Amino acid sequence: MAGNFYSVQCPDCENEQIIFGKAATEVSCAVCGHTLATPTGGKAEIMGEVTETVEAR
């Protein structure tokens, strides 16, 4: 189960948060609650801007 971790910037409050690229559950912003990623069965659909790949596996 290899996957990448991404630093994603929230489009509402500009908070940066690290999320897993194959998230199995909906990921919300820790500050404002905006949805950052939704699961699709494989790679998650990321709603915010990916600023960097934190760890690639």
> Across all residues in the chain, what is the average pLDDT?
91
pLDDT at 55 over 80: no
d(CA 56, CA 32): 27
Confidence category of residue 2, pLDDT binned at 50, 70, 90: confident
Supply the DSSP symbol for 42: S
Half-sphere exposure of 5 (CA within 13 A, CB side): 6
